Amino acid sequence: MRYESLRSIYHIAIKDMKTYYFKPPAISWGIVFPIAWILAFYLRNPRNFEELIPGLIAMTVLFSTTAMEAVVINFELRVGSLERLLLTPVTLTGVLLGKILGGAIFGLMITAVVTIASVLALGLYHINVIYLLLTLLPSLLLFSALGALLCVLVKEVFEAQTLANLPRFLMVFLCGVFTPVYSLPPALRQIAYVLPLTYTVDGIRVAFGEAGIVNIAIDIVVLIALIPILILPATRLLARRFI
C-alpha cells in the first residue's frame, strides 16, 4: 500500500478519535456495557474471578471495537460525511481501513484499561505480555472489521448496534468467555471453532498462563487470516452503497 494511502488511513482514524470517542453509543456499548458485565461477575463470585479475566478482556475487545464501528461508520452514513471522504483522493478501501483502525484504537484503549486494572487489582503479574499483545492486536483489528462489515449493511447507529448484538452474544456464550469451550456439547463446540472470539479468548488464556485449546500460534494465525476475509466483503458492500 502506498505511503499516501497509509497517511490518509491514519488521518481518518485520528479524526474519528477526536470526533466520536465520546458519543453516547460508544460509551454505553463500548465502555459501560463490558465494565458492567465484569462488575456483575465479580460481585457474583469474587473468589474465582481471576479465571474469568481472559474471557472478560476478550469480551471488552469485542464490544468496544464493534460499538465504535457503529458510531464511526453509521453516523457518517447518516449525515453524508462518509460520502465526503469518498470525494477526496482516498480509495474506498482506504476509507474503510481508516474506520477500522479508529475502532481498533478505541478498543485498545478500553481493553488496556480493563487489562491493567485487572492485573493490578488481582496481582496477575505472571502474564506473557508478548502473547497477550500478539493476540490482542489482531483481535482488535478483526472485531473492528467485523463491526465495519455489519455496519455497512444498515444506516442508523441503533440499527448497527442491534444487528451487532446477534454475533456479539452468540460469541460471548459460545467462545469460552464464561464457559470453557471443551465443556460445551459437541455440536456447539464445532460452532465455537468457527467463531473468531474463541481464538481471542484462547490466546489470552495462554498469555495468562492457562492451557489453550489449540497452540497459540494457531490462535494468532487464525485471527490475522480472518481480518482480510472480513474486510473484503465490507469493502464490496460499502462500494455497492455508493458506486
Partner 1 sequence: MVKAIEVSGLTKHYDGLVAVGGIDFEVEEGDIFGFLGPNGAGKTTTIRMLTGLSKPTSGNASVLGYDMGYEIVKAKKAFGVVPEISNMYDELSGLDNLIFMAQLYGLPSRERRARAEELLKTFGLFERKDSRFATYSRGMKRALTIAAAVVHRPRLLFLDEPTVGLDVVAARNLRSLIQRLRGEGITVFLTTHYLEEADILCSRIALLVKGKIIAMDTPSTLKAKAEEKPAVEIVFKAPLPQAAEQLGQRLPDAVVMKVNDKVRVYGGDTAIVLEAVLKYAREIGTGVASVNSLKPTLEDAFVKLTGLSPLAMAAEKGGK
Pick the binder of partner 1 from 40, 43, 46, 80 (CB under 8 A).
80
Q: Any contact of residue 20 with partner 1 (CB under 8 A)?
A: yes
Tell me the number of residues near partner 1 by CB under 8 A.
Answer: 23
CB of 106 to partner 1, least distance (A): 15
Which residue lies nearer to partner 1 by CB, 45 or 88? 88
Which residue lies nearer to partner 1 by CB, 98 or 212? 98
Please classify residue 48 by burial: count the beta carbons closer than 10 Å to its beta carbon, then call 0-12 exposed, 13-18 middle and 19+ buried: exposed
Dihedral sign, Cα of residue 118, residue 133, residue 205, residue 163:
positive
Residue 17 near residue 63, CB atoms below 8 Å: no
CB of 242 to partner 1, least distance (A): 6
* Cα–Cα distance list, 193 to 22, 146, 176 (Å): 35, 17, 10
Pick the binder of partner 1 from 45, 81, 162, 190 (CB under 8 A).
81
> Whose CA is closest to 105, among 26, 52, 217?
26
DSSP string, 47-101: TTHHHHHHHHHHHHHHHHHHHHHHHHHHHHHHHTHHHHHHTSS--HHHHHHHHHH
Q: Any contact of residue 86 with partner 1 (CB under 8 A)?
A: yes
CB of 67 to partner 1, least distance (A): 17
* Cα–Cα distance list, 134 to 131, 140, 145, 214, 224 (Å): 5, 11, 17, 15, 10
Pick the binder of partner 1 from 46, 89, 123, 186 (CB under 8 A).
89
| SS3 state of residue 177 | coil
Residue 66 near residue 164, CB atoms below 8 Å: yes
CB of 90 to partner 1, least distance (A): 6
Pick the binder of partner 1 from 83, 130, 158, 228 (CB under 8 A).
83
Q: Any contact of residue 85 with partner 1 (CB under 8 A)?
A: yes
CB of 1 to partner 1, least distance (A): 13
Which residue lies nearer to partner 1 by CB, 90 or 127? 90
Pick the binder of partner 1 from 57, 70, 71, 90 (CB under 8 A).
90
- Angle at alpha carbon of residue 29, lines to 236 and 149, rounded to 5°: 10
Q: Any contact of residue 243 with partner 1 (CB under 8 A)?
A: yes
Pick the binder of partner 1 from 1, 39, 79, 232 (CB under 8 A).
79
Which residue lies nearer to partner 1 by CB, 105 or 216? 105
- Angle at alpha carbon of residue 198, lines to 224 and 52, rounded to 5°: 125
Binding site for partner 1 (CB under 8 A): 4, 7-8, 11-12, 15, 18-20, 79-81, 83-91, 242-243
